[in-house]
C-alpha cells in the first residue's frame, strides 16, 4: 500500500528536508511506525514515549482528521494522502 505522506516544514529537519515521502502501510499506526523506523529524528516529534500522538499534532487522511475516522487504526489504501501537521499557535 503506497501512501504519500506530506511532511510540513517543522518536521522536515527529520526527513532530510523531504516534503513528501512514500510509505507502505496498512493503517495509520503502521505508517507512523514505518516513518519513525526510516527517520530516527521523527521519534518524539510526532508521538510521545507511549506511542500516543502529541496533543499539538494533527493527522489527516485525504484531508480528514483521524479523530473523526478510526484514529491510529484508520485503514489506508493505495494512493491515500496523509498529512502530519503540528499546531500553529501562540498568544500574549
Partner 1 sequence: MIPLLTTAELETIHQHARADYPAECCGVLLVRGGATEARRLLPCRNIQDELHARDPERFPRTARTAYYIDPANLLEIGRREGEGFEVRVIYHSHIDAGAYFSETDRQNAMLDGAPAYPQATYVVVAVAEGRVGETRAHRFSPETQTFVEVPLLGGEEPVGAKRR
Which residues contact partner 1 by CB under 8 A? 6, 8-10, 13, 19-20, 44-45, 55, 58, 60, 63, 65, 83, 85-92
- Could you tell me the smallest distance in angstroms from the CB atom of residue 60 to partner 1? 6
Which residue, 55 or 78, has its beta carbon nearer to partner 1?
55
**Buried b / exposed e across 24-60, counting CB within 10 Å, b at 16+?**
ebebbbbbbbbbbeebeebeebbbeeeeebeeebebb
- Could you tell me the smallest distance in angstroms from the CB atom of residue 49 to partner 1? 13
Amino acid at each position: 500500500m503506497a501512501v504519500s505522506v506530506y511532511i510540513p516544514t517543522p518536521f522536515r529537519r527529520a526527513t532530510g528536508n523531504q516534503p513528501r515521502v512514500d510509505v507502505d502501510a496498512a493503517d495509520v499506526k503502521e505508517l507512523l511506525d514505518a516513518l519513525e523506523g526510516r527517520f530516527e529524528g521523527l521519534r518524539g516529534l510526532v508521538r510521545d514515549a507511549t506511542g500516543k500522538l502529541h496533543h499539538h499534532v494533527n493527522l489527516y487522511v485525504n484531508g480528514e482528521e483521524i479523530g473523526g475516522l478510526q484514529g491510529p487504526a484508520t485503514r489506508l489504501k493505495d494512493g491515500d494522502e496523509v498529512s502530519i501537521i503540528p499546531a500553529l499557535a501562540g498568544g500574549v
